[in-house]
Amino acid sequence: MSEREPVLEVSGLETHFHLGGGLLGRGEEQVVRAVDGVTFDIREGEIFGLVGESGSGKTTLGRTILGLVPATGGSIRWKGRELVGLTEKEFRPLRRRLGMIFQDPNASLNPAMTVAQGVGHPLRIHGITQTRAETRARVAEMLERCGLAPAERYLDVYPEDISGGQKQRVVIARTLITGPELVVADEPVAALDMSIRAKVLELMMDLKDELGLTYLYITHDLASGRFVCDRMAIMYLGQMVEWGEARAIYDDPQHPYTASLLDAIPLPDPSRRDRDKQLPRGEIPDALSPPRGCRFHPRCPRAFEPCGWEGRDLIDALEDRWTRIDEATFERELGLVGDRTAAVVADDHVRFRTDDPHALRQLLTELGPSLPTVVIDATTSMEADAGDLVVRFGAGPAPGDQVVAGRTVACHLHGVVERS
Amino acid sequence: MSTVPALSVSDLTVDYATPKGYLRAVDGVAFDLHPGESLGLVGESGCGKSSLGRALMQLLPQGALVGGSVNLAGDELIGASDARLRKARGEDLALVFQEPMTRLDPLMKVSDHFVEAIRAHRPETSKDEARHMAREVLAQMGIPPTRANNYPHEFSGGMRQRIMLALGIVLKPQVIIADEPTTALDVIVEAQILDLLDRLRSDHNVGLILITHNLGIVAETCDRVAVMYAGRIVEIGPVVDVFARPKHPYTQGLLRSVISVDTTELSSIDGSPPDLTAPPRGCRFAPRCDQAFEDCHSVDPMLAQVALDQHAACLLYPGADRRGAEVGV
Amino acid sequence: MAETSARRARVQHALKPWRQANPMARRLVVVGLIITLAFALMAIFADAIAPYGQDQYRYIVGTTTDPATIDAAACGDTLDCEQLPRRIEPSEGYPFGTTSARFDVLSRIVHGARVAFAVVALATVLSMGIGVPLGLYSGYRGGRLDRVLVMSMDAIYAFPPLILAILVAFVLKQALEGRIEEPGVFVASVAVGVVYIPQYFRVIRNHTLSVKEEPFVEAARSLGAKPRTIVWRYVFFNVTSSVPVIFTLNAADAVLTLAGLGFLGFGVQYPRAEWGLDVARALPDVVSGFWWTAFFPGMAIMILVTGLTLVGEGLNDIVNPLLRVKGYRGRVPKRKATDDGADVTEVKA
């Protein structure tokens, strides 16, 4: 595909949610960094994929671009115009040119409006049509374009009377009726039955060609992303970990997270059941306190010393070990380590409140190689201090962006580069 | 197979009352499940797969009608007493649901859920013994013993599903029925949970019925697969055979419509499933089938053997005509 | 043509819950509506139905006409007037008897219906007119205003309703004294209406809170709809489903509150006919064994309240989709496939 003009340029975008302190303003204010410094652009006429697990911030990023959630930092330029900082009122006229397709067609249509009313409403909102008959004619035309023909059969029905696939077509018609240029599609087929997903995706791609649309395609499903996207970005905990040409990413993933996402997809081919899969440990952590360094390091199957090991990783590693040993050993180790509440965990150290710091140090050193992660190797010191054992960790720089094999990756495996 | 089936289902029907008439959600379903075997029940929304799962456990909404037979190692469950059913749920059959949080009491520690479940079935077990059992089975599911006394909300979605699995197997049931156990989870956690289920099946020799809409999951975890459409099993057989050589046009269409990383061409099935309060005459898939011929709209097909161990209900194959010979599955 | 098909679709849609409803619920609503309508007709055509006026104690011989409607002074002069019997038992001519003030009980009940309906209607307009928009606004905007409104509404709600109504009636009466003619009905309506504002407010606000989280509300924003459009076109129609239920149940309650006000003397003024007032007036009669003066107004209150409650309960079953789908226990049209005599077990609770 030839290089086309970027229509949307996002740089250093941040969307942070501030959770108020406790009742009466006491307690610490917490910040969820749903989108935390994201830079990319979308070129005219392409489908740009945004892929990640739930909690990766992909949906928040899409909603921020459409001004449905206020950005707390950075910039979004659409055809040269800055969108960050626009008020709701200033944004409103732009909405006919920036559309959104939602995930669940059952919930994104107003149950109290007929198809004709719902699809026609954007025309009335933006004053595009003046009379009811004109609106109805435009709606009918759009419905047929979206595969709902003859339109008369669908105009006066309520959403509850049509199937999920038909509802999603109605949603698409409602989004496209004002003639948008950029459409954010948030998991447009995830809620649909398998046998009709392809139909809806095909429709979206046909309409893209017919109407000259540009899509931001948000999905958790790498499989459909591969089929649809020209370029894509893999998101993890509010940041992009790998982005570039979709084909390059699928054929040869460079970030361990991308690789595990690809490995985890169940294949409808029983003969390849026993293929080698590299599955990450655990689940995506709480965005309230993202891990230090590389945010993926606690789960990464290939993480090594510089990835940002920290106090809680040590506790997690011990707990993981405890699920696999006999009870007597567990009791003995627990006696030395103390439970979760007995240790003071900070970013760069853990202070174990223990009766016997020396025995604990010996235990940790011995356990090191048998733990599921390299967390012990990443320690810089273990010292007895005032009857406690303090375990310290070295610096854990956040990985910077590097161009590897035609795409950008943020991972220390390709050389330890600190994020600027 | 020569072993005695752990679960034998025959001619199972489920009807729901609706203002438009009775809706037959499950219509004459039959299959056997052997110990240590996993059977995938796959189909699209509304095909009756969840109703079937619930019917096996006798956990249907009030007013539903159940017919046929669910035989658990020689014991009939349809029409059994409430006490017998309560005993069956947990001791013989475990059910794992899609949304684990709603099945855990937020005010009870995780270990107390186990104490309650164990002592309801085995009152002679002491609380300490029950806690001990809980810790062991939780550890097997990857929950650290130090977390046993936490409350459900302190766990992530995947960990809650692990807890539900642990609760399901603590009484060592013969059969686990998992209804879309990973639908609410992300792919990576889904793969982790499926690995666990597989380990459970081989380590404890339990039968597993995995209800899902995802054919990939079936291919990854199941030995046999039953494809459901409009309340009936339309094809059943070993996963390897059905995925390599699907016989029923619906199975063929469904397999073609899967979007996987290898997909090079999109495909879908036209139309939508029939209204089950007034199902069409003949084969229920005929209106959407591109291979349908005249008889399909008048003759109701039955499961017929189409290959070794593989059965399909389609008139394209000899013996599927109901007017033909009797066939055992 | 398109217009009519669109309208037909909307009417069909509105009737759908009714058609799918449980027959028991529909029966409740029909019976309740018959009772309520009977009282409503009585109120509208009170003058034609009631044999006498509400405070008529004498009549022109040979008719039932109240001499006061012609020229009271002419009574005994050019007109042949006669007084109604005092405290006569229910009998021919006076089916519900008469009171100690020689009023016909039947006529007072018929006219009392008029007051009841007028007050309930006015009160409902007031409480709905304030409670619904305030609930919508408060729920949709949230923030400090919402907190203040919720707190003040809760304060009103926490007040015993009858005492609150008395307070409002008392204050209003003082304020309006001499300014408008016959403040009774108006004062009673406001007093009763104020009591029910918090109920509409709370239900609408809570419903709004959940509806505004629905994806279709965000979808409306993404289409460029203004907040006012969103509230009225997207939120309002989805929260009003519970209004008819609150309305009928509140109306039933309002009849009781009005009767309570009247009973305690804070409602409309004697000799206007009002059931609660009549019951209060009849108290000395009961002690002396004249049961009918208290019994019939009491029955009127009870029957109307029952009628309205039946409508409310029935509507609740119909409107609440959860009850409608899950607990469907109604008649099911037979279908051949299930009538084949197969052995089935019904799942019990």
Give the N- to C-terminal CA distance of chain C in Å, as an integer: 49
Task: Count CA within 13 A, CB hemisphere, residue C9.
Answer: 22
- The values of phi and psi at residue B203, to 5°, are -70, -40
In this complex, do B79 and C328 lie within 8 Å of one another by their Cβ atoms? Answer: no
In this complex, do C326 and B66 lie within 8 Å of one another by their Cβ atoms? Answer: no
The two three-digit tokens of residue A19, written as one number: 């959770």
By C-alpha distance, the chain A residue nearest C224 is A92
In this complex, do A111 and C238 lie within 8 Å of one another by their Cβ atoms? Answer: yes
SS3 C281: helix
- Decide if B128 contacts B181 (C-beta within 8 A): no
pLDDT band at C181 (very low <50, low <70, confident <90, very high): low
Quick: pLDDT tens for B46-95: 899 989 988 988 888 877 889 999 998 888 988 888 888 888 888 888 88
Q: What is the Cα–Cα distance from B60 to C258, expressed in whole angstroms?
A: 47
A188 reaches C (C-beta below 8 A): no
Supply the pLDDT for residue C344.
Answer: 66
In this complex, do B63 and C344 lie within 8 Å of one another by their Cβ atoms? Answer: no
In this complex, the residue of A227, A277, A320 whose CB is nearest that of residue B191 is A277
If we measure between CA atoms, which residue out of B34, B68, B38 comes closest to residue B51? B68
- Answer yes or no: is pLDDT of C22 > 50: yes
Sequence-distant (≥ 6) Cβ neighbours of residue A376 within 8 angstroms: A314, A317, A364, A365, A367, A368, A369
In this complex, do C219 and A122 lie within 8 Å of one another by their Cβ atoms? Answer: no
In this complex, do B145 and A322 lie within 8 Å of one another by their Cβ atoms? Answer: yes
By C-alpha distance, the chain B residue nearest A251 is B261
Q: How far is CA C337 from CA A328, B23, B279, C333, in A?
A: 62, 10, 10, 12
Total CB pairs under 8 A between chain B and C:
58
A14-18, A83-87, B6-10, C100-104: least confidently modelled range: C100-104
In this complex, do B20 and C346 lie within 8 Å of one another by their Cβ atoms? Answer: no
Give the N- to C-terminal CA distance of chain B in Å, as an integer: 12
Burial class (CB in 10 A: 0-12, 13-18, 19+), A135: buried
Specify the amino acid at residue C57.
Y
CA distance C13 to chain A (A): 8
- Answer yes or no: is pLDDT of C338 > 60: no
By C-alpha distance, the chain C residue nearest B58 is C347
Element (H, E) at B14: strand B7-18
In this complex, do A323 and B144 lie within 8 Å of one another by their Cβ atoms? Answer: yes
To test the contact with chain B by mutation, choose from C331, C332, C334, C343 the residue with the greatest count of B C-beta atoms within 10 A, namely C332
Contact residues, chain A, for C20 at CB < 8 Å: none
In this complex, the residue of A53, A201, A322 whose CB is nearest that of residue B186 is A53
Sequence-distant (≥ 6) Cβ neighbours of residue A83 within 8 angstroms: A65, A67, A76, A77, A91, A94
In this complex, the residue of A165, A224, A279 whose CB is nearest that of residue B191 is A279
- Decide if C83 contacts C58 (C-beta within 8 A): yes
- Decide if A187 contacts A219 (C-beta within 8 A): yes
CA distance B60 to chain C (A): 7
In this complex, do A322 and B272 lie within 8 Å of one another by their Cβ atoms? Answer: no
By C-alpha distance, the chain B residue nearest C344 is B67
Burial class (CB in 10 A: 0-12, 13-18, 19+), B56: buried
If we measure between CA atoms, which residue out of A17, A116, A121, A141 comes closest to residue A69? A17
Look up the ipTM and state it.
0.87
By C-alpha distance, the chain B residue nearest A282 is B189
Contact residues, chain A, for B128 at CB < 8 Å: none
Query: Does pTM top 0.90 for this prediction?
Result: no
Contact residues, chain A, for C237 at CB < 8 Å: 110, 112-113
In this complex, the residue of B186, B220, B259 whose CB is nearest that of residue A198 is B259
Q: What is the Cα–Cα distance from A36 to A14, expressed in whole angstroms?
A: 5
A104 reaches C (C-beta below 8 A): yes
In this complex, do A54 and B186 lie within 8 Å of one another by their Cβ atoms? Answer: yes
In this complex, do B18 and C328 lie within 8 Å of one another by their Cβ atoms? Answer: yes
Contact residues, chain C, for A95 at CB < 8 Å: 222-224
Q: What subunits touch chain A, counting only 3 or more CB pairs under 8 A?
A: B, C
If we measure between CA atoms, which residue out of A132, A146, A151 comes closest to residue A177? A146
In this complex, do C345 and B20 lie within 8 Å of one another by their Cβ atoms? Answer: no
Q: What is the Cα–Cα distance from C332 to C349, expressed in whole angstroms?
A: 19
In this complex, do B67 and C330 lie within 8 Å of one another by their Cβ atoms? Answer: no
Q: Are strands A81-82 and A73-78 parallel, antiparallel or unpaired?
A: antiparallel
Quick: pLDDT tens for B222-239: 999 999 999 999 999 999
CA distance C221 to chain B (A): 27
C-beta neighbour count of A238 within 10 angstroms: 26
Q: What subunits touch chain B, counting only 3 or more CB pairs under 8 A?
A: A, C
pLDDT band at C110 (very low <50, low <70, confident <90, very high): very high
pLDDT band at C334 (very low <50, low <70, confident <90, very high): low
- The values of phi and psi at residue B251, to 5°, are -60, -40
Q: What is the Cα–Cα distance from A57 to A72, expressed in whole angstroms?
A: 14
Contact residues, chain B, for A261 at CB < 8 Å: 187-188
Supply the pLDDT for residue C349.
Answer: 46
The two three-digit tokens of residue A378, written as one number: 């990443």
Chain C positions contacting chain B at CB under 8 Å are 19-20, 326-330, 332-335, 337-338, 342-349
HEC assignment per residue over chain A: CCCCCEEEEEEEEEEEEEECCCHHHCCCCEEEEEEEEEEEEEECCCEEEEECCCCCCHHHHHHHHCCCCCCCEEEEEECCEECCCCCHHHHHHHHHCEEEECCCCCCCCCCCCCHHHHHHHHHHHCCCCCCHHHHHHHHHHHHHHCCCCCCHHHHCCCHHHCCHHHHHHHHHHHHHCCCCCEEEEECCCCCCCHHHHHHHHHHHHHHHHHHCCEEEEEECCHHHHHHHCCEEEEEECCEEEEEEEHHHHHHCCCCHHHHHHHHHCCCCCHHHCCCCCCCCCCCCCCCCCCCCCCCCCCCCCCCCHHHCCCHHHHHHHHHHHHCCCCHHHHHHHHHHHCCHHHEEECCCEEEECCCCHHHHHHHHHHHHHHCCCCCCCCEEEEEEECCEEEEEECCCCCECCEEECCEEECCHHHCCCECC
Burial class (CB in 10 A: 0-12, 13-18, 19+), B249: buried
To test the contact with chain C by mutation, choose from B20, B22, B76 the residue with the greatest count of C C-beta atoms within 10 A, namely B22
Q: What is the Cα–Cα distance from A156 to C5, expressed in whole angstroms?
A: 7
Q: Check residues B239 and C283 and name the one with the higher pLDDT.
A: B239
- Decide if A391 contacts A352 (C-beta within 8 A): yes
Q: What is the Cα–Cα distance from A114 to C237, expressed in whole angstroms?
A: 12
In this complex, do A104 and C216 lie within 8 Å of one another by their Cβ atoms? Answer: no
Quick: pLDDT tens for B251-286: 999 999 988 888 778 888 888 888 888 888 889 999
- Decide if B60 contacts B4 (C-beta within 8 A): no
Contact residues, chain C, for A104 at CB < 8 Å: 215
Contact residues, chain C, for A114 at CB < 8 Å: 6, 9-10, 13
| Average pLDDT over every residue of B100-116 | 84
The residue written with tokens 């279908």 in the block is C335
Residues in chain B: 329
CA distance B229 to chain C (A): 18
CA angle, A343 then A348 then A351, to 5°:
25
The residue written with tokens 């009538």 in the block is C339
By C-alpha distance, the chain B residue nearest C340 is B67
Chain A stretch 108-137, residues whose beta carbon is closer than 8 A to a beta carbon of chain C? 108-114, 116, 121-122, 125-126, 132-133, 136
The residue written with tokens 């945010």 in the block is A295
In this complex, do A265 and B260 lie within 8 Å of one another by their Cβ atoms? Answer: yes
Per-residue pLDDT of chain A (420 residues; tens, 9 = 90+): 456 789 999 999 999 998 865 555 555 678 889 999 999 999 999 999 999 988 899 999 999 999 999 999 999 999 989 999 999 999 999 999 999 999 899 999 999 899 999 999 999 999 999 999 999 999 999 999 999 989 999 999 999 889 889 999 999 999 999 999 999 999 999 888 888 889 999 999 999 999 999 999 999 988 888 889 999 999 999 999 999 999 999 999 999 999 999 988 888 888 888 888 888 888 888 888 889 889 999 999 898 888 888 888 888 888 888 888 888 888 888 888 876 677 788 778 888 887 778 888 888 888 877 788 888 888 888 888 877 888 888 878 889 899 988 899 999 998 888 877
